[in-house]
Each structure stands twice: as C-alpha cells, then as structure tokens.
Structure 1
Amino acid sequence: MPSMLDHTPTLHKPALSAREVEILREWLLCESKSEAAAHLYVSAATVSTHIVRIRDKYARVGRPATTKTSLLARALQDGVVSIDEL
C-alpha cells in the first residue's frame, strides 16, 4: 500500500526565457528593481515588465506568484535560485 510520502505533486514549470531567468535571479538577489536594473544595465521599468511576464507565466501553469516572496518560493522550487545564494 503506498504511503502519503510516495505521492509528490508534479510542479509545472513555466517556459521562462534565458533573459527572464537572468532578470528574475538578479531581482530576487537584490533589494529592489532599481538595484537589479543597475546590475543588468537596463531600466527599472524593463525589470518590472519582465517580472509581470514571469508572474503571468507562473499563473498560466497554475502556480500564481503575486508577491516577491511567492515568486522566490517558485524560483527555489524550480531551481532558478538556491537557498545558498540568498
């Protein structure tokens, strides 16, 4: 008889582009969008646009991430960042 521990839910990963992953990682590792933008040599508005698109992709696979904390949780689950980097 299978135990409850044998059943792990399947996490559907969104299809993030390499640039989206780069921006997501930088934003999660920085204090603000402005700081992430400076590191990436883009505007804070560009970072915001990418974050909106990333959140939309997570929502479309049934894993909404409406806050930075929830997006961090998704990124940890999906291996985009590791706990050691934080």
Structure 2
Amino acid sequence: MGRAAADRTPPGESPLTVEPPLSAREIEVLLAWFASDSKEGAASRLFISPATVATHIARVRAKYTAAHRAARSKTALFARMLEDGYTDLRDW
C-alpha cells in the first residue's frame, strides 16, 4: 500500500533538508556578494574578477538545486545560507 500518510512528503519537496557542502572560498565569495551592491563590488573586495564571482555563485546555485533547494535569486540564496548556518542575521 505504500508509506503511511504521516510519512509522506508533499510533491516537489525533499523528505530531508540537505545541506550542500560549500567550500570555504564559495562561502567567502557569497558573503562578499551579499555585502556588496554587485558582483563587481564583491570582486573588488576579494581581488578577483567579476566572472570568478559569477562562477562561484553559479556553482553554489547548482549545489542547492542538486539538493532540491533551488535558490534562483540573491535573496533566496541568502535565505539558504541563513538556514544552513553559513551566516547569521546578527552579522548583517
């Protein structure tokens, strides 16, 4: 008959919240991006190119999508970072 009703996960949702493994550099780049107005601002702070910032962001988004926790906007990605403990509202 299948799993009990209380054990079912709604369609489109993962039964477990999976925290994708982010590298220390990915976290550093994202936090700089959150603190900046743009990718260019984050790049300037970290002495890297805006393209490198964009690459890090794309890789992190891909990791969250693979974990069934897509973050398509800067705000959604910030929320994921809060949920997973990579940053805290007191830091902002």
TM-score range, shorter chain: 0.7 to 0.9
Counterpart CA distance in 1 for 2:90 and 2:76 is 18
Indicate the larger mover: 65-74 or 21-30.
21-30
Counterpart CA distance in 2 for 1:29 and 1:77 is 18
1:64 aligns with 2:79: no
Amino acid paired to 1:47: V
Across the aligned residues of Structure 1 and Structure 2, the Cα RMSD in angstroms comes to 1.2
**Equivalent residue number for residue 37 of structure 2:** 31
**Equivalent residue number for residue 48 of structure 1:** 54
**Equivalent residue number for residue 5 of structure 1:** none
TM-score w.r.t. the length of structure 2 is 0.79
List alignment gaps of at least 5 residues for structure 1: 1-8
* Identity within the alignment, %: 46
Counterpart CA distance in 1 for 2:67 and 2:42 is 26
Number of residue pairs the alignment of both structures matches: 78
Larger helix share, 1 or 2? 1
1:80 aligns with 2:78: no
The structural deviation recorded for 1:85 is 1.9
List alignment gaps of at least 5 residues for structure 2: 1-14
The structural deviation recorded for 1:10 is 4.2
**Equivalent residue number for residue 4 of structure 1:** none
The structural deviation recorded for 1:11 is 2.2
TM-score w.r.t. the length of structure 1 is 0.84
Kindly name which structure, 1 or 2, has the bigger radius of gyration based on alpha carbons.
2
Which string of whole-angstrom CA distances, capped at 9 and with x for unpartnered residues, describes residues 3-36 of structure 1? xxxxxx7421111111111111111121111110
Partner secondary structure for residue 81 of structure 1: coil
Dislocated runs of 4+, deviation >4 Å: none
